[in-house]
Chain A
Amino acid sequence: MRRTTVILLRNPLSMLGVVLVAAVVISAALADYIAPFPEHRGAVVDFVHFNQGPTARNVMGTDLVGRDLFSRILYAFRISLLLGVVVLAIATPIGTFVGLLAGYLGGRAEFALMRLTDVFLSIPPLVLAIAMMGVLEPTLLNAMLAVTAMWWPWYARLVYNITRSEREEGYVLAAEVIGASTLHVTFREILPNCLPAIITKMTLDMGFVIIIASSLSFLGLGVQPPTPDLGSMVAEGARYLPDSWWLTVFPGLAILVAVFGFNLIGDALREILGADQ
């Protein structure tokens, strides 16, 4: 624990990551209290203040129907974080389960599971998500499903590779020799040895899931208006560049801050967890 703190404090980039992620999480959690216009998260119209640049009243300006951009970005963080957490919470266990079994059992199970994984990996991720969203209704839930479907194979492949090397370790044979079952060996012996890599990848992926989710909403396939979402806000503002620059720049910066923060933390975690081995 002390070592962890030292690594985090010594490295200014890791500290920056912690600060950025903390800022994003706190603003999402406390959006109701921080946002100057909490009601602007929904369908509100204010034609007195529409499409204005940053002012003292609206620090990031207002959008085309007069809603405060700063407030909407705070609420959009909520959606992004929720999506990231839910996608990873579903994709990681599925991928881990598939990877562990394929890697440990080998033979036909390995062939079936890993070729299935390859099928998913062979489709470009955004294309798969767009195809799914084209068939399904564009809602938050379906966006989560689509991103999950393209995300679990990466975990399957990661865990599969670690399992393949770990199963040759002496402790696996030692466990088999005292009569441990397949489930015990995979989940109680091998899985704990995969956790550092899985946790690191999850942190790094938080950022990427946010990007992909924003890309989907940018294309109009994700969260639907009036719910604030960073991707759809960028898409909406893009038509009014460069005159109404604040419509695009501030949501874009918000995406940058969140993704950058999670990536920096992921790098720090890789160092902390990797050095333990």
Chain B
Amino acid sequence: MSAVLEIRDLHLRFRGHSGVSEVLHGVSLDIRAGERVALVGESGSGKSVTARIVLGLLQELPYAEVSGGLFLEGADLNRLSRRQWQGLRGTSISMIFQDPTSSLNPVFTIGAQFAEVLRRRDPGLPRGAADERAGALLRSVSIHDHARVLDAYPFQLSGGMNQRVVIAMALANHPSLLIADEPGTALDVTVQAQTLKLMHDLVERSGTAVLFISHNLGVVREFADRVFVIYRGRIVERGPTAAIFEAPGHAYTRALMAAVPRITGGGPPEPNDGETAFLDPMVVHEGGGA
């Protein structure tokens, strides 16, 4: 199977007033069609910037220096013009964010925003037809009173409802890649679990590849086929989900798993950022087609 997304030796540097700070030190990552890949790491490890580079958003900043290979379905993204790359967003690649309510514009109804999204693929789609398709998409995320939802403003709906709307929007144009940046972290745990289950089923049915960015190992274990663990801008471990969770090979992965709060008690361990073992070379788990 061919890779939907392939990232090769990605480097990112930010030029600041006090010199250059290197954020990514050669990240390589691949996602095959229909596969759900999780990128796991602590805050500031480089998860979200990787996603933004794939979308071409960071490259537009004057103080960011990006180098490395980026391929979407075999096409070299670095060779695209800014306009072509912009054309991929919302059609071939779409994205879901942490807080669904704030990622919807408060002054437009859900229906109006849905129509905008659908017009990315079908410019000039009339509102009536857009509402019809939006209704069908909302049914697929288990929203059954879609007429009411389409007429509502984002602040009139619950967070979980908005999350499902955002998922439906993200999948509306049948993207080949969906980037989910800590989806639903702003929601409470039960709602988060429901919507993730829903998203899981949907991407499975539509065959959409997912880059799932998270620090929540419990969610990753449920959701992902393969896991990449990232620490300080380097991938420290990669492999099929089951293999990594059964036998975490890298010191950092083990520390990350030890940090998961357990119902049987015991507080979180002390943060030990100075651990030299965290800088060990990458551990690769073979199998699962990796």
Q: Which residues of A contact B (CB under 8 A)?
A: 107, 169-171, 173-181, 188-189, 192-193, 195, 277
Contact = CB atoms under 8 A, between A and B. Distances in A.
A174 B104 CA distance: 8
Interface string B46-60: 000000000101000
Query: Chain A CB within 10 Å — which of B103, B105, B106, B108 has the most?
Result: B105
B108 A179 contact: no
B102 A177 contact: no
B57 A177 contact: yes
Nearest to A172: B105
B99 interface: yes
Contacts of A188: 116
Interface string B76-100: 0000000000111111001101110
Contacts of A171: 102-106
Given A176-B57, A177-B57, A179-B120, A170 B97 contact: yes
B62 A107 contact: yes
A179 B89 contact: yes
Give the most central of A170, A192, A277: most B CB within 10 Å. Answer: A170
B97 A174 contact: yes
Contacts of B116: 188
B186 to A, nearest CB: 10
Contacts of B277: none
Nearest to B105: A171
Contacts, number: 55
B108 A192 contact: yes
Contacts of A107: 62
Nearest to B117: A178
B94 A189 contact: no
Contacts of A174: 95, 97, 103-104, 166
A181 B99 CA distance: 22
Given A107-B62, A192-B107, A192-B108, A178 B94 contact: yes
Nearest to B89: A179
A192 B107 CA distance: 7
Interface of B: 55, 57, 62, 86-91, 94-95, 97-99, 101-108, 116-117, 120, 166
Contact of B97 (A173, A179, A181, A277): A173
Contacts of B97: 170, 173-174
A255 to B, nearest CB: 36
Nearest to B93: A177
A173 to B, nearest CB: 7
Contacts of A169: 102
Contacts of B55: 177
Contacts of B87: 179
A228 B87 CA distance: 58
A178 B99 CA distance: 16
Contacts of B117: 178
A176 B88 CA distance: 11
B86 A179 contact: yes
Contacts of B98: 170
Contacts of B106: 171, 193, 277
A179 B88 contact: yes
Contacts of A173: 97, 103
A111 to B, nearest CB: 13
A87 B55 CA distance: 43
Contacts of B104: 170-171, 174
A180 B104 CA distance: 14
A189 B105 contact: yes
Contact of B90 (A179, A189, A192): A179
A268 to B, nearest CB: 21
Listed from nearest, the 10 A-B pairs whose CB atoms lie closest are A178-B90, A170-B102, A179-B89, A170-B103, A174-B103, A171-B105, A179-B90, A192-B107, A177-B95, A179-B86
A192 B120 contact: no
A181 B108 CA distance: 18
A177 B105 contact: no
Q: Which of B87, B91, B107, B116 has the most CB of A within 10 A?
A: B107
Given A169-B102, A171-B103, A179-B88, 5 more contacts: A171-B105, A173-B103, A176-B57, A177-B94, A179-B89
A185 to B, nearest CB: 10
Contacts of B103: 170-171, 173-174
A171 B86 CA distance: 17
A175 B90 CA distance: 9
Contacts of A192: 105, 107-108
A175 B91 CA distance: 12
Contacts of A177: 55, 57, 89-90, 94-95
Nearest to B172: A178
B91 A179 contact: yes
Contacts of B107: 192-193, 195
A45 B95 CA distance: 75
User: A176, A180, A188 — which one has the most chain B CB atoms within 10 A of its CB?
Assistant: A176
A277 B105 CA distance: 12
Q: Which of A169, A171, A174, A180 has the most chain B CB within a 10 Å cutoff? A: A174
Nearest to A171: B105
